[in-house]
Copies of this chain bind each other. A is one copy, B any other.
């Protein structure tokens, strides 16, 4: 991670732990961020279900958190302040996850949304996040994030 990214990630994790306490109970942390791809990991143990695999609720939460964090990071990188709200979320579960929950989100090209944001103060960011298990896709999340400029 470069220095700007590392500073933003430290701030982000501090925001999670102090203001979204369930992220601490889930032992969520950022694994990596390169400006376009964000990887968030949560430990299996606090997120386990009675089959000894990752709880469906936690798989969703780590995915939704990764998407939220991506919008936070991308707007911070552009110096835009505002609030991020998840409007809807969908997740498909393909396989049980018997390892730490690792959600990967790719931002891609969302310049049209940033143009709208500049013009109107509002934008929507559709994001997808995937979680693997033993190297194959185990869960796929789609979320629609609404961003509103302001303090």
Seen from chain A, the residues whose Cβ lies within 8 Å of a Cβ on chain B are 15, 19-22, 25-26, 45-51, 55-58, 60-62, 64-65, 68, 83, 85-93, 96
Judging by beta carbons under 8 Å apart, are B22 and A46 in contact?
yes
- Counting every copy of the chain, the complex holds 2
Contacts of A26 in B (CB 8 A): 22, 25
Interface secondary structure of A, over-half rule: mixed
Judging by beta carbons under 8 Å apart, are A86 and B93 in contact?
yes
Judging by beta carbons under 8 Å apart, are A22 and B25 in contact?
yes
Residue in A20, A22, A25, A96 with the greatest tally of chain B CB atoms within 10 Å:
A22
CA distance in complex: A67, B52 (Å): 19
**When the two chains form the complex, which single residue of B21, B50, B57, B68 contacts A61, counting CB atoms closer than 8 Å?**
B57
